[in-house]
Amino acid sequence: MKKWGILTVCLMLAGSMLAGCGDKNKEGASTADNGSNQANAKTIVLGTSADFPPYEFHKMIDGKDQIVGFDIDIAKEIAKDMGANLEVKDMDFKALLGELSSGRVDFVISGMTPDENRKKEVDFSNNYYKAEQAVVVREKDKDKYKTMQSLEGVSFGIQTGSIQEDIAKTIPNAKITGLGKINDIIMQLNSGRVDASIMEKPVAEAFLKNVKGLAIADAVPDYQEDGYAIGVKKGNQEMVDQINKTLDRLNTEKKIDQFVSEASDLAAKK
Ligand code: ARG
């Protein structure tokens, strides 16, 4: 019975953003065309957790599973400005900082909040975007969760290693199930194995467009969001400067807002 529940959710989302169904921890790599695919150009490797529409997600385009989203658009611009080819490595969110420190990826763009703990481990660019948090529940339970107090003792599906884990830990008696990919959280919510989750509002909205039966609750987590930034290996100031230059250019050209709206449209498309 359980298996069928999961399969149904996978099927419901087939072709949209759950391309990872069934092969959870598989790490995927793909080469993205950033318009500078030259034979002799160097390749820079992006680390991301592609479970986060509209930031980074899987989408079938022309019959091919591709990693897209506005973080990926930004990564392509960075590679272009460096005259490099871009390779995208998809992994669980919690693996990203380790991969960066060990040099297996050159930079991380993954809707990542540059919080104090992470700043000890890696360096960050300037912030490039900002979003609020949202509590996601089953639609039929929406009225139960109007305040943060009403979430006390509730079971949460939370992405391991995310700031949402810290937020959930502040809720008295919350039972937290840590999961590698947000797709799995959505499935567990849908099948009733957890009762709530916390994620960035644009991400919640993107999933809700494609998944029936879920809703954003009125309860709003009390979290001082300080935006998203791009991570690089500690001490690599050259890469930070390079990335900030590209972000400045994209801001001046109003490109980031354009990427966000294009990626949101793409995430909503069946
Ligand atoms: N902003 C949150 C954090 O930095 C969540 C990011 C999750 N990103 C992802 N691609 N799943 O912890």
List Cβ neighbours of 21 (8 Å cut-off, separation of 6 or more): 6, 10, 13, 14, 183
CATH topology of domain 133-216: D-Maltodextrin-Binding Protein; domain 2 (3.40.190)
Residue pair 160/92 in contact (Cβ under 8 Å)? The answer is yes
Per-residue pLDDT at 25: 39
Per-residue pLDDT at 26: 43
CB of residue 45 inside a 6 A radius of ligand 1? no
CB of residue 168 inside a 6 A radius of ligand 1? no
pLDDT at 121 > cutoff 90: yes
Per-residue pLDDT at 9: 43
Query: What is the phi/psi pair of residue 268, to 5°?
Result: -80, -20
Top mutation candidate among 24, 93, 117 for ligand 1, by most atoms within 8 Å of CB: 93
- pLDDT confidence tier of residue 40, bands split at 50, 70 and 90: confident
d(CA 62, CA 179): 30
What does the pLDDT average to over 56-66? 96
Per-residue pLDDT at 106: 98
Query: What is the phi/psi pair of residue 86, to 5°?
Result: -110, 130
Per-residue pLDDT at 24: 38
What the block records as the tokens of 3 is: 């298996």
Q: How far is the CA of 38 from the centre of ligand 1 (A)?
A: 32
- pLDDT confidence tier of residue 270, bands split at 50, 70 and 90: confident
What does the pLDDT average to over 124-144? 96
- pLDDT confidence tier of residue 100, bands split at 50, 70 and 90: very high
What number does the ligand 1 atom closest to the CA of 49 have? Answer: 10
- pLDDT confidence tier of residue 11, bands split at 50, 70 and 90: very low
**How many CA atoms does the CB half-sphere of 41 hold within 13 Å?**
18
CB of residue 17 inside a 6 A radius of ligand 1? no
The pLDDT tens digits of the residues spanning 195-253 come to 999 999 999 999 999 999 999 999 999 888 779 999 999 999 999 999 999 999 999 99
The pLDDT tens digits of the residues spanning 159-189 come to 999 999 999 999 999 999 999 999 999 999 9
What does the pLDDT average to over 77-105? 98
Q: How far is the CA of 84 from the centre of ligand 1 (A)?
A: 26
Mean pLDDT over the full length of the chain: 89
- CATH 3.40.190.10 placement within the chain: 32-129+227-268, 133-216
The Cα-based distances of 20 to 4, 13, 25, 102, 199 in angstroms read 17, 11, 9, 25, 19
Per-residue pLDDT at 14: 40
**CATH classification code of 32-129+227-268:** 3.40.190.10
CB of residue 93 inside a 6 A radius of ligand 1? yes
Reduced to 3 states (helix: H, G, I; strand: E, B; else coil), residue 223 is coil
CB of residue 56 inside a 6 A radius of ligand 1? yes
